[in-house]
Structure 1
Amino acid sequence: MREIWRLSDAVTRSISPENPTGAKGAGAMATEGTGAWAARELGRGWKVSPSIHLASGELATLAEVAGPGVIRHIWLTTDRGSLRGLVLRMFWDGEEAPSIEVPLGDFFCNGWTDELALVNSEPIVVAPAGGLNSYWQMPFRESARITLENVSDHGVPVYYQVTYSLEELPGQTAYLHAAWRRSHPLGQPAIHTIVDEVRGRGHYVGTYLAIEPGDSGWWGEGELKFYLDGDDEFPTICGTGTEDYFGGAWNFDLAGRYVRYSTAYLGLHQVLPAEQIYQARQRFGMYRWHLPDPIGFERELRVTVQALGWHSGGRYLPLERADIATTAFWYQTEPHAVGDPLPTDSLPSTPLPRTAGPSPRLGTRLRSFFAGAIRRFR
């Protein structure tokens, strides 16, 4: 934790609809805004402009500041059902291609919009009723620009506050990057690329994974693989299974049900529907932050995950019908390699109808089979 008692020369500023430039002494000066009617008897300085309305197809610049400095905290809330219909982008030092381009919900570990998933972690906190908080530290030398685009078919309210410090940065400063990818359906081979073509020096700091397995049964045998600095067919770092990478074990199954958890650095924080188990069309959300254990690379990085379940006879089953979306977080030196623009037509996340849960007898047989398979093959 930062030594908060140690004084520095940093200056704190904050941007919101009540102070859109973040200028000193310029807060609460609005005479028009979304709160003007409610404040009509109180006047200027009484929450006249607490939010903006973002129409369908509209792009808004939430913050644009000159550096050097560090974005310390972002708070935002909006229509909870539209989290994948909004695209968050961040640009450092005047770059044309964003270093961060992610659906808003996925940036805050809420790719599935069936219901809000609460998160209690060090860099990301999602509070009850929809408070989205980011504590990712985002340094910039010359400038920082944050935009939000509404690619949904309806307008939404957006409340936000971006707090940053103006301060000098050390010479070896790396910039935060984030990239989103979706495979739907996954197809052959059942391997989803989380990120590739990362060029430069840096360290990988986090993964958010949203998955609908597409086949019934246990779905998390696939390994996460990190290909570093020239690795070709085989990676330098290879995990032992999906639930293992996210800090869990044994199918996330405790007494015949998935048990959700959210901790400082990892979690299985979303299970939809929560009362079912081993269903093909269930949806799951999980995260892992490599803050105590960053994965360093000198020149390049590629990260993949296999989608793997169990077949009859104790055989692995590639989950070719899986729907997988991931967000990768990493720090690196600039310039960064420019990838393809985010495919906004892949974003809508229509809630699926709930399927009937397994009968007690079927659930017992499934659990017995998977427990036996695990004992034999792990």
Structure 2
Amino acid sequence: MSLLNDIHKIKDGIRTKRVSSYDRTGGNQDYVTIPAGETAVLADIPGAGIIKHIWITVNTLDKMIRRNAVLRMYWDGETEPSVEAPLGDFFGQGWGEEYNFISLPLAAAPAKGKALNCYFPMPFGSGARITLQNESDEPIRSFYYYIDYEEHREMPDSMGRFHAWWNRELTEVHPDAGENEWSILAPEGKNPSDANNYLFADIEGKGHFVGVNYFVENPGPMWYGEGDDMWLVDGEDWPGSLHGTGTEDFFNSSWCPNEVYMHPYFGYARVPDKLGWMGRTHCYRFMFEEPVYFDKSLRASIEHGHDNNLTLDLSTVSYWYQVEPHKPFPAFPAKEKRQNMPEISIPDVHLWRHEWRQALGGGTRLWGNERKEKPADDTE
């Protein structure tokens, strides 16, 4: 179906409007300032309508403002936000970074990803409110934005409300098996459950899931993506009606990719340039052709390594539409809980090598692929 199919149709009862940061005096200071610790109301729109486009760019001394500023959206007078995420993560920018990102509903445009764009349609029947909380210690010296929307006479009940939820977890491994990916340490285990997976959706109500931005920081060089995606719809038991075969498979790629690739629906907007897959990778998938429908609930998760055997810093923003009311999100993590993990450096890897050398007796010509000899089997 072409995106231009309806562009020729003349419609009644719709008016295009915009809320923006333009200089009300007629001057060129077309921005607002947001002091440290304060929350700005970007839009407070009455009546019915659909937000069609949001554009934002930010100027501040805080290099982590994209994690330290929190975007929230409320529909129809609700008190619990339907959208709650760090500013950067919502627009597909992980770790407070700035980099170019291209997809159909979200984009970070030049210069070098500084222009944040959203094209998710966001219907509302009796008001829309959008806020930005500056939790930085620095003021946002200039915050430029457009919020383009349609004003409608009314909004049909069939129009779901847009939702987005940010989650983050430093994942744990099995204490007895360690980080046993690819069976390097022992035979691999089995995971007949989603109980220990990384959770990226926990929804109650009726609606459909349309996409996820997935940000993984890997402290080691091992491939992070043997984990299966698992979806339990309307309270069904494991393995559920949708069960995947690997992380890169869910993101529509294959064979442990480590290259930038951006399709309108899926891709890799950021990949590491280190040893193996060590470092930060941003994967995304938007399921506009195959949304996941649910009538009562949806629990969506993914393994962090096969059988959840890798320590990873995982964060996600999930996007869906549903009938209100929605299940309130968990308490939003404090700013201190949203900061990046320390970067694994070349000296860190050298220290690992030193410990490995000592474990093998401190030999003076150890190359790096030697293994401890297994104890002899003396049973007869």
Same fold (TM over 0.5): yes
Among candidates 202, 205, 210, match of residue 205 of structure 1? 210
Among candidates 64, 70, 75, match of residue 55 of structure 2? 75
Corresponding position: 1:195 with 2:201: yes
Instruction: Give 1:344's aligned residue.
Output: 334
Instruction: Give 1:55's aligned residue.
Output: 35
Query: How far has the Cα of 1:276 moved from its partner?
Result: 2.0
- State the secondary structure of the residue aligned to 1:112: helix
Instruction: Give 2:119's aligned residue.
Output: 135
Is the contact between residue 186 and residue 323 of structure 1 (CA under 8 Å) also seen in structure 2? no
Among candidates 159, 163, 182, match of residue 144 of structure 2? 159
Q: Which amino acid in structure 2 is aligned with residue 118 of structure 1?
A: N
Q: Which amino acid in structure 1 is aligned with residue 134 of structure 2?
A: N
CA distance in 1, matches of 2:286, 2:277: 27
Query: How far has the Cα of 1:352 moved from its partner?
Result: 2.5
Query: How far has the Cα of 1:292 moved from its partner?
Result: 1.3
CA distance in 1, matches of 2:275, 2:105: 29
186 and 99 in structure 1: CA distance in 2 versus 1, 3 angstrom threshold: farther
Instruction: Give 1:291's aligned residue.
Output: 288
Is the contact between residue 43 and residue 129 of structure 2 (CA under 8 Å) also seen in structure 1? yes
TM-score, normalised to structure 2, is 0.79
Instruction: Give 1:248's aligned residue.
Output: 253
Instruction: Give 1:8's aligned residue.
Output: 11
186 and 64 in structure 1: CA distance in 2 versus 1, 3 angstrom threshold: farther
Q: How does 1:249-288 map to 2 (within 5 A)?
A: 249-252=254-257, 258-272=258-272, 275-280=273-278, 282-288=279-285
64 and 190 in structure 1: CA distance in 2 versus 1, 3 angstrom threshold: same
CA distance in 1, matches of 2:221, 2:340: 21
Query: How far has the Cα of 1:194 moved from its partner?
Result: 0.6
- State the secondary structure of the residue aligned to 1:63: strand
CA distance in 1, matches of 2:344, 2:35: 28
Query: How far has the Cα of 1:342 moved from its partner?
Result: 1.1
Instruction: Give 1:313's aligned residue.
Output: none
- State the secondary structure of the residue aligned to 1:46: coil
Among candidates 240, 243, 246, match of residue 238 of structure 1? 243
Instruction: Give 1:169's aligned residue.
Output: 155
Is the contact between residue 102 and residue 269 of structure 2 (CA under 8 Å) also seen in structure 1? no
Identify which range, 348-357 or 221-230, moves more after superposition: 348-357
Instruction: Give 2:129's aligned residue.
Output: 145
- State the secondary structure of the residue aligned to 2:248: helix
Q: How does 1:40-51 map to 2 (within 5 A)?
A: 45-48=26-29, 50-51=30-31
16 and 230 in structure 1: CA distance in 2 versus 1, 3 angstrom threshold: same
The percent identity for this pair of structures is 35
Query: How far has the Cα of 1:8 moved from its partner?
Result: 1.2
Identify which range, 242-251 or 166-175, moves more after superposition: 166-175
Query: How far has the Cα of 1:219 moved from its partner?
Result: 1.1
CA distance in 2, matches of 1:237, 1:185: 23
Measured on the aligned residues, the alpha-carbon RMSD in Å equals 2.4
The ranges of structure 1 where at least 4 consecutive aligned residues each deviate by more than 6 angstroms after the TM superposition are 356-359
Counting matched residue pairs gives 321
Query: How far has the Cα of 1:214 moved from its partner?
Result: 2.9
Query: How far has the Cα of 1:155 moved from its partner?
Result: 1.4
Structure 2 gaps of 5+ residues are 175-194, 354-366, 369-380
Query: How far has the Cα of 1:187 moved from its partner?
Result: 4.9
Once the two structures are superposed, residues 80-133 of structure 1 have per-residue CA deviations (whole angstroms, 9 ceiling, x without a partner) of 6411111000000000000000111110111223x4221111100110220000
317 and 16 in structure 1: CA distance in 2 versus 1, 3 angstrom threshold: closer
Instruction: Give 2:168's aligned residue.
Output: 182
Query: How far has the Cα of 1:348 moved from its partner?
Result: 2.0
Q: How does 1:357-372 map to 2 (within 5 A)?
A: none
13 and 59 in structure 1: CA distance in 2 versus 1, 3 angstrom threshold: same
Corresponding position: 1:220 with 2:225: yes
Is the contact between residue 219 and residue 344 of structure 2 (CA under 8 Å) also seen in structure 1? no
354 and 16 in structure 1: CA distance in 2 versus 1, 3 angstrom threshold: farther
Q: Which amino acid in structure 2 is aligned with residue 106 of structure 1?
A: D
Is the contact between residue 59 and residue 149 of structure 1 (CA under 8 Å) also seen in structure 2? yes
355 and 190 in structure 1: CA distance in 2 versus 1, 3 angstrom threshold: farther
CA distance in 2, matches of 1:354, 1:76: 33
Instruction: Give 1:112's aligned residue.
Output: 95
Q: Which amino acid in structure 1 is aligned with residue 104 of structure 2?
A: E
Instruction: Give 1:333's aligned residue.
Output: 323
Between Structure 1 and Structure 2, whose CA radius of gyration is higher?
2
- State the secondary structure of the residue aligned to 1:251: coil
Once the two structures are superposed, residues 313-363 of structure 1 have per-residue CA deviations (whole angstroms, 9 ceiling, x without a partner) of xxx7710x211001111000011111322112322236736447999xx9x
- State the secondary structure of the residue aligned to 1:84: helix
Query: How far has the Cα of 1:238 moved from its partner?
Result: 0.9
Structure 1 gaps of 5+ residues are 19-27, 32-44, 253-257, 310-315, 367-378
CA distance in 1, matches of 2:163, 2:209: 9
Is the contact between residue 261 and residue 269 of structure 2 (CA under 8 Å) also seen in structure 1? yes
CA distance in 2, matches of 1:350, 1:53: 29
